[in-house]
Amino acid sequence: MNDEKNTSAAGGDFIIHSPWLHRFALLTVAATLGLIGIGGLVTSKAVGMSVPDWPTSYGYHMFALPIATWLTGGVFHEHTHRLWATIVGVLVVALMRWLGGRTARRALLIIGGAEILAGFALLALGPDWRGAGHFLSGIGGVVLLAGVVWVNSSPAARPLPALGWWAFWLVQVQGLLGGLRVVLDAHVVAGAKLGMVFGLIHGCLGQAFLLLLCVIALLTSRWWQKQHSESGIQNPECSAQRWFLFTTVMIFLQLILGATMRHQHAGLAIPDFPMAHGKLWPDTSPAAVASYNAVRFELAGENPITAAQIWLQLAHRALAVVILSAVAVCAWRTRGFLRRPALIWLGLILVQAGLGAWTIWSNKAADVATAHVLVGALSLVTGALLTIITFRFSGAARQ
Amino acid sequence: MKTVLALAVGLTATLQVATAGDLTGTVTLKGTPPAEKEITPLKDDATCGKFHAAMPKTQFFVVAANGGLADTVVMLKGISGKSTGASAAPVVLDQKSCVYVPQIVAVQTGQTITVKNSDPVLHNVHSIPAVAGNEEKNLAQMPNGADLTLKFDKAENFLKFKCDVHPWMFAWVTVVDHPYFAVTDKEGKFTIKDVPAGKYTVTALHRKAAPLGVEQEVEVKADGAKADFTVEVK
């Protein structure tokens, strides 16, 4: 497999670089990006509840849903999202096992067994716990299998095994959140529907999870390994590390704002751009909001808009300007090998701004809104990776 | 003694009917409503699109040539606890050609709503009440499947019904705690039958043009009463 291993006594037995491990990490990243895309489409098309049960689908085991039912309306998107999520889950367990090597086997056997037993215990609690019970015992089976049948390999260099464990737990939490979003949709806590709350967390955590996988892909890359080799470190020649960090945090905040808007299922709180209800600063008095709702023809029976939602959209627009400016500063203050990636990042943000405007002009067309979600994810990931690189290698001298 | 009592009850009921009249009227729309939107996702759906030769459009404002406004719920205000829903005939809500028919419905508290699926395609009937005490339900309904029955115990205006499989499908059910209401027809006309004589506040609610209602005071006599409403869209 052309793996480079550490052969010195110091540091122990670990893989310095494995091209196939890196490729597998990239495959998992690509699969997760696709999963975010199909998940985004589910929300954009307002079909998140088109399969009202979980983990079964209309009473069928999720792998046995009749094709005719699968191909009906929104069921196609939601059920495909669930199947795709299962594939990503298996890829992540395999990735984690690869990163952890033989040292992870015992833990996987214990965790897999415990999850199976916990799943059966939940099933015994009653019908309300059936979904979580099936989910847990199913994933436990996959985990147990990874512990039993995998090759006797060396672990990857630190901190990759730890990151693998983070991904392992996070993908399971994500799966459970997605299921609870459906099962507890109608439950209300503190005035908020749990379907909305879980959907929002599920959407944001999905992008954080993608980021984690991208970091794993970066750390398993040949480039990263060379940066740590005796031949010397490339200096990013960037005096804006804190700007990169600030901008990436702003992008994540923007993601939360956008997810909050989407998961309130109220459609477009402001139907025009760059104006807002025909003005630079819209009237958000109760009478004005009532008039907006009166002329608003919701194609999917969306909830009436509120003044708070209008303010949320205005904040989203304002933050977009901040982010665009900050990314421009990052690109301007970066030289050397990071200049091109920083300019690509700027290009991504410009595309994202265009998609945001187009989302409004197209009356929130599902494909456009979903593209906006995906480019947002790419913007977040790009910013985070650039931040890691600038902090890790800034100030390093060439040998 | 029992005979006298029965006669007294019968006489009272007869007197009540005799002193009850029909409240009739017309709801008219003033102003030009926004243009209806094309339901592109419906036309693009592989199965549902086949049911519609022309591009289907939303029906938020159904206005007759003379300005009569359909789908307006007209009801007496300030009356509660008089529901006869438990013994009333079920109201039928159908899913035909991947749209709810009718889109605006009014029922009494405790009255059965029978939801039919006349389509050869799966729908799910998702009722989303906003009033505490009305239960949210999300029920799958297979192609040409068995009817679903729902009831709501609390009064609520424009309780939303949707289909999560086909997100353009929705209906609005107004639940009233008494039997004195009607939904205007295509000409904007309504008749509320057997309203006991007296003075009332009558409200006309249209989901878009008058979601909070347009009110007027009406006195109903033995020969009935007339109440016309004008709803304005600006």
Q: Where do the structural domains in chain B lie, given as residue ranges?
A: 21-232
Mean of all residue pLDDT scores within chain B:
92
- pTM over 0.80? The answer is yes
Q: Among candidates B191, B105, B90, which has minimal Cα distance to B156?
A: B105
Tokens of A151: 């090759």
Contact B41 A299 (CB under 8 A): yes
Phi, psi of A27 (to 5 degrees): -60, -45
The Cα–Cα gap between B102 and A396 comes to: 72
Q: Is the pLDDT of residue A232 over 60?
A: no
| CATH for B21-232, options being 2.60.40.420, 3.30.420.40, 2.60.40.10, 3.30.70.360 | 2.60.40.420
Is pLDDT larger for residue A237 or for residue A77? A77
Residue A399 pLDDT grade (very low, low, confident, very high; cuts 50, 70, 90): very low
**CB < 8 Å to A76, chain B:** none
Residue B80 pLDDT grade (very low, low, confident, very high; cuts 50, 70, 90): confident
Contact A74 B166 (CB under 8 A): yes
Q: How confident is the model over B195-234, as pLDDT tens digits?
A: 999 999 999 999 999 999 999 999 999 999 999 999 998 7
**CB < 8 Å to A366, chain B:** 41
Amino acid at B170: F
- Specify the DSSP class assigned to residue A276: B
Stretch B151-169: mean pLDDT, rounded?
96
What residues of A are in the B interface, CB distance below 8 Å? 45-50, 52, 58, 69, 71-75, 185-186, 290-291, 293-295, 297, 299-301, 366
Size of interface A-B (CB pairs under 8 A): 83
Q: Is the pLDDT of residue A397 over 50?
A: no
CA distance A253 to chain B (A): 29
Amino acid at A6: N
Stretch A129-148: mean pLDDT, rounded?
88
Q: How confident is the model over B92-135, as pLDDT tens digits?
A: 999 999 999 999 999 999 999 999 999 999 999 999 999 999 99
Q: Is B57 on the interface with A (CB under 8 A)?
A: no
Across A167-176, A233-242, B91-100, least confident range: A233-242
Contact B167 A295 (CB under 8 A): no
Contact B60 A297 (CB under 8 A): yes
Residue A9 pLDDT grade (very low, low, confident, very high; cuts 50, 70, 90): low
CA distance B209 to chain A (A): 6
Contact B209 A294 (CB under 8 A): yes
Q: Is the pLDDT of residue A38 over 70?
A: yes
DSSP-assigned letters across all residues of B13-79: HHHHHHTEEEEEEEEEEES-PPPPPB-HHHHHSTTGGGG-SSPPB--S--B-TT-BB-S-EEEESS-
The pLDDT > 90 percentage for chain B reads: 83
pLDDT at A227: 82
Contact B121 A293 (CB under 8 A): no
Q: State the pairing for strand pair B20-30/B225-226.
A: parallel
Contact B166 A73 (CB under 8 A): yes
**CB < 8 Å to A50, chain B:** 124, 164-165
- Residue A181 sits at the vertex; the CA angle it makes with A175 and A182, to the nearest 5 degrees, is 100
Contact B165 A299 (CB under 8 A): no
Nearest to B121 among A58, A72, A291 (CB): A72
Q: How confident is the model over A93-131, as pLDDT tens digits?
A: 999 999 999 889 999 999 999 999 999 999 899 887 787
pLDDT at A161: 95
**CB < 8 Å to A75, chain B:** 122, 165
In chain B, which among 126-185 make CB contacts under 8 A with chain A?
A: 126, 136, 138-140, 160, 162-170
Q: Among candidates A161, A176, A164, A165, which has minimal Cα distance to A118?
A: A176
Q: How confident is the model over A264-299, as pLDDT tens digits?
A: 888 899 999 999 999 999 999 999 998 898 888 888
Q: Is the pLDDT of residue B180 over 60?
A: yes
B57: exposed, middle or buried (C-beta count within 10 Å: 0-12, 13-18, 19+)?
middle
**CB < 8 Å to A264, chain B:** none
